[in-house]
Amino acid sequence: MKILVTGGAGFIGSAVVRHIINNTQDRVINVDKLTYAGNLESLVSVDKNERYVFEQVDICDRAELDRVFAQHQPDAVMHLAAESHVDRSITGPSDFIQTNIIGTYTLLEATRAYWNELSAEAKKAFRFHHISTDEVYGDLPHPDEVALDTELPLFTETTSYAPSSPYSASKASSDHLVRAWLRTYGLPTIVTNCSNNYGPYHFPEKLIPLVILNALEGKLLPIYGKGEQIRDWLYVEDHARALYKVVTEGKIGDTYNIGGHNEKQNLEVVKTICSILDALVPKDTPYADQIIYVSDRPGHDRRYAIDAVKISNELNWQPEETFETGLRKTVEWYLTNQEWCQHVQDGSYQRERLGI
Ligand code: NAD
């Protein structure tokens, strides 16, 4: 297959590209604008491979997308390009509306024009896989809000949409557009909604890499509110494997939720990172002494948790990493890849707080 991956220079996109090049015989066309979050250094292990090609293109640029489709003739699209950081979406929603909504619309239209001209056989085999987030569902009851014996609900593929932030609202909009292009035009689409990812090559504005780097530099480790928010963490390479399974084996028109069965409170995540660092890079005082509590994020969702039974039963996918093994690998990766960390923080972002 020739797979056009959008956002392949980002955190999850680069894991997808590395997975495809390293584990399959497929070709990848990586379409990425290279915003602050996109970095070609995340792809040095595969970028010399003859099955990989890079196109620096904005998904809002219809003419360039038409050229890329005509030139590379892909068999499938995996659409990951997006503005992805909730705090940034609070400070400035405009880029989120532009890329996540207008960009997805533009990509759908370019794909549809290309797909319409394919042979009947190629048309049937084609896939447009839209990669989305569990944040479109809003948030779930937190354990401290329900009686002790109550079973806590999970997000399923039929949970109603109720996004809270400009980021999640823009992703929800893009999911709706993708489903409309299936229903109205017959474009063979599949949607996946995944929980919080963590792992190597994660831009250090997100909780886990930010805490690792701040801890190592002796800086404060900010916890929003009381740190009780619950996220369901998935190791990024497990996500990449799931996405490849979905694009190759998933059913057209279906949605698959992807999650790691790892519900953790933010405070617990930060304390676990601190104890891994205490063991790997010991110093006079425990890293947890650097924790401080700061005002909460506006509209902060309290709990996310994914029911991943469908993808497990139908596509035989399960995460390979536990939170403990994945987090240790992640901390070790950041310890040995300080150069990558320095290069991606190009001076425009110094790990300052956004979205207050
Ligand atoms: P990221 O911010 O690390 O990477 C996004 C990539 O998209 C970057 O390489 C950037 O350069 C590129 N991009 C941005 N705007 C573009 C444009 N207009 N045209 C072309 N390229 C553009 O994001 P990520 O964390 O890798 O997330 C990838 C996808 O997965 C997103 O759609 C996100 O909503 C979704 N998702 C993320 C998570 C998570 O925990 N990170 C969880 C579930 C779903």
CA-closest residue to ligand 1 atom 35: 132
- Transcribe 171-215 into DSSP letters: HHHHHHHHHHHHHHH---EEEEEE--EESTT--TTSHHHHHHHHH
Distance (Å) from CA 81 to ligand 1 centroid: 4
Q: Is 55 in the pocket of ligand 1 (CB under 6 A)?
A: no
Dist CA 283 CA 81 (whole Å):
40
pLDDT at 355: 80
Dist CA 47 CA 79 (whole Å):
19
Return all residues near 286 (Cβ < 8 A) that are at least 6 apart: 274, 278
- β-partners of residue 258 are 194
- C-alpha angle 258/11/280, rounded to 5°? 95
Neighbouring CB atoms inside 10 A of 272's CB total: 19
Q: Which atom of ligand 1 is nearest to the CA of 103?
A: 18
CA-closest residue to ligand 1 atom 19: 58
Q: Is 136 in the pocket of ligand 1 (CB under 6 A)?
A: no
Distance (Å) from CA 32 to ligand 1 centroid: 10
CA-closest residue to ligand 1 atom 27: 12
pLDDT at 347: 66
Catalytic residues: 134-135, 167
Q: Is 80 in the pocket of ligand 1 (CB under 6 A)?
A: yes
Q: Which residue matches tokens 């999640």?
A: 168
- Smallest CA-to-CA distance from 8 within 327, 227, 19, 66 is with 19
Distance (Å) from CA 43 to ligand 1 centroid: 15
- Smallest CA-to-CA distance from 167 within 203, 199, 132 is with 132
Per-residue pLDDT of the chain (356 residues; tens, 9 = 90+): 999 999 999 999 999 999 999 999 999 999 999 999 999 999 999 999 999 999 999 999 999 999 999 999 999 999 999 999 999 999 999 999 999 999 999 999 999 999 999 999 999 999 999 999 999 999 998 998 888 888 899 999 999 999 999 999 999 999 999 999 999 999 999 999 999 999 999 999 999 999 999 999 999 999 999 999 999 999 999 999 999 999 999 999 999 999 999 999 999 999 999 999 999 999 999 999 999 999 988 988 899 999 999 999 999 999 999 999 999 999 999 999 999 998 988 767 778 888 87
Dist CA 108 CA 130 (whole Å):
10
Identity of the residue numbered 162: A
| Domains, the chain, with CATH or none | 2-198+234-262+303-321 (3.40.50.720)
Q: Which residue matches tokens 């068999």?
A: 75
Sign of the torsion angle spanned by Cα atoms 3, 197, 92, 155: positive
Q: Is 237 in the pocket of ligand 1 (CB under 6 A)?
A: no
Q: Which atom of ligand 1 is nearest to the CA of 234?
A: 40
pTM of the model: 0.97
